[in-house]
A and B are shown apart, each in its own frame.
Chain A
């Protein structure tokens, strides 16, 4: 029986459970012996001229080795490389340390280097920076109005106008709603949330002659290696990512604090370490989502949708990193799972005096789903129809795939109505409706709401697709090593990639080692983000495993004194034999020994290129709303998420669980808040509503497998689905619980105050 599709326990776990994983701060490499430590002095102003920096007291503190300001950075050290080449305007690029102007609270201004972390922190307290405050732009719409300009020489806060770049349709001359009986418009806030991996950023580095060795907590070791030459021209380096404690999009590129480390290590001629605190992680690196949307939807009064327009203003934060690019994903996924004849999108990103916006689990696609799902609910309410029935009426039918939306996005495969039916059935929708009716009838204090969302997203994007590298090598003992350019920071590649190879090679996963996270050992790679690893990285393992099996067959043929064409590899036993005569066979050990004897290396490497895939599903969330306090609890979450062919149900379910929790968190408890002056007010775990076990129920997961034709594994990405479907489903549930009061929309997060005000205004 094939190992594929089975609940294999993780190879990672025995170590993680008995001694703990080895994160960057745990690395005790002898080359890091005697490392100095860095502490950053961060701006306390959202927008200010830096008029002077007094380091004299700090410099004489115990253990201080040196203090670095922007003036001390030599000219041959560059700025943060653009996240997307040629995009956005280079004038909004970010320096390693604030230079002349600070643009958000938390921006690093000075780096203090000392013998110990405590000495560095103590000395940092004695650095005095003089600021001359400048007017701020914190709110997205305010920044968009260009009331206060953040980059004088650019003259506008608009970083990117997607329609102008041909990356959104723009709003046409023709009124697409002219023929609609019913048209509704809604302003929707998709607020800032913190990715908050439990491990923050951490770096350790050392120069060995002209070569930099750098350890860091990253999702993309090769991506970081690729970014370094943008700062240090011609640099020779080895990037090593040991175990990583989660990323969720936060650890894709290089951030200034990480990128300045090689410079500090070189100047002070010491190995150098920096591990951020939770507060630094919250105020310093950036947040996800952050859009204001205007959704307009129109159709016939019997619930058929004819036209949809989505206008988005995305916050890119203080500079133009990856966040400035994310509204593009919102544009391409605007249509959601619906067959809508006319679609228009307009999207912009604007800079604000807040921490840079970054990719966070879903990165632009949850925002698209949130908008269309809200719009459908409101449209259904306006028509006086059931939101579930309006969805059903407009879903793209299963026989329409591959399907291209009117604005050009090509969905690979789908069974949207099936996912909706299965989720509703598992949730016992009819019983929920009856319960809701009974509570309304009785006028219960605790009202019940049922929220439904149906979503589709793009993984491995942007279209058309992507690539990942894998090398499969057979050791002289007949075991396998996989060198993967994808990199697990919790996704379990050591287990799943071993399963893919085991299935092709007929080996036990115990005989397969996955090597990842070291750019000297793995020659190429992209990394793990956008739910891309299995579809691209796994497919690369699949390809190379098959090639290696073919090479091995040639050698086995010699041993069996047969023609290679007649020799088969029995993948259930790992034995090579002549077709039809399994009794005489050779093992991997025999073949590997023979290869070694002949001086042949059994190995294949290459990149697998594939098109993106479009996972989809339906979520049903039940909310209980206390009509006297506005408090929301979530007793039931049912999801049917389709990620194509399932490799390991445990791991797929784990990804769904984590995503669901983060999506519910955004709708319910989590918001990264700045006050009007740009001071962060939720800058640690005590103030931020990080979701805990107590606020969540156990989840009911319904399986569905609609393979994608776009890669040999049939796998679609699953990392982000949970976070995409659950947010709008909970929002819908809370509005649904209160719909009898005439409430049609409440923005997230659904705090008791916000829900209570909606009730009392109704």
Chain B
């Protein structure tokens, strides 16, 4: 069926199979490969994007459910060549190594701060529990999020 989705500010009208997941639609049909797939149980958060401003694991949603909605991926987060403060904080704090969790982690962190602008460290850790990272031990990710919250 045909769907129309606004992705990173741009309207996309495309034919999709009903069982296509949003993450596959973004990666394979739209060509936005920044969003990664890390699991098959909706556990890792590597696929996190924003749908209508809220963070969503894009492997838990069918593309057809995004019909008429607005999707923001890592590729759309910086504006006019300026990194989003969360991207900048990740860079400054060395909060990424292999980068595989990073797009999802950044998107989840942005919405965490939107919902709770002044979190404690424990709240940040709880808030990111559904986003797994194998490289950083989370230390610098938590530090980056706390920097943005300051």
Contact = CB atoms under 8 A, between A and B. Distances in A.
Given A18-B78, A20-B99, A277-B40, A658 B137 contact: yes
A531 to B, nearest CB: 14
Interface in A522-538: none
Interface string A83-95: 0000000000000
A244 to B, nearest CB: 7
B129 A694 contact: yes
Contact of B34 (A20, A196, A661): A20
Contacts of B130: 692
B34 A198 contact: no
B55 interface: no
Nearest to A690: B132
A694 B137 contact: no
B75 interface: yes
A684 interface: yes
Contacts of A684: 39-41, 43
Contacts of B103: 20
Q: How large is the interface on A (under 10, 10 to 19, 20 to 34, 35 or more residues)?
A: 35 or more
A658 B139 CA distance: 9
Contacts of A118: 19
A550 interface: no
A197 B37 CA distance: 12
Interface stretch (A48-56, A586-594, A647-655): A647-655
A685 B74 contact: no
A654 B135 contact: yes
Contacts, number: 174
B96 A696 contact: no
B90 interface: yes
Contacts of A21: 98-100, 102
A698 B121 CA distance: 9
B148 to A, nearest CB: 13
B39 A278 contact: yes
A489 B98 CA distance: 6
B134 A654 contact: no
B44 A17 contact: no
Contacts of B96: 13, 16-17
B119 interface: no
Nearest to A16: B99
A13 B90 contact: yes
A198 B38 contact: yes
Contact of A198 (B33, B134, B138): B134
A664 to B, nearest CB: 8
A70 B121 CA distance: 54
Given A654-B135, A657-B137, A658-B137, A197 B98 contact: yes
Given A18-B74, A661-B137, A684-B40, A693 B142 contact: yes
Contact of A246 (B27, B39, B87, B100): B100
B72 interface: no
7 contacts: A17-B102, A490-B98, A492-B97, A686-B43, A692-B130, A696-B125, A698-B139
Interface of B: 19, 27, 31, 33-41, 43-44, 46, 74-75, 77-78, 83, 87, 90-92, 94, 96-103, 106, 121, 124-126, 128-143
Can you list the 8 inter-chain pairs with the closest CB atoms, starting with the nearest?
Answer: A20-B34, A245-B100, A661-B137, A490-B98, A685-B43, A657-B137, A16-B99, A26-B33
Given A16-B99, A246-B98, A692-B125, 15 more contacts: A9-B91, A14-B83, A17-B74, A17-B91, A18-B74, A20-B75, A25-B33, A28-B33, A246-B134, A277-B40, A490-B135, A657-B138, A657-B140, A684-B43, A698-B121
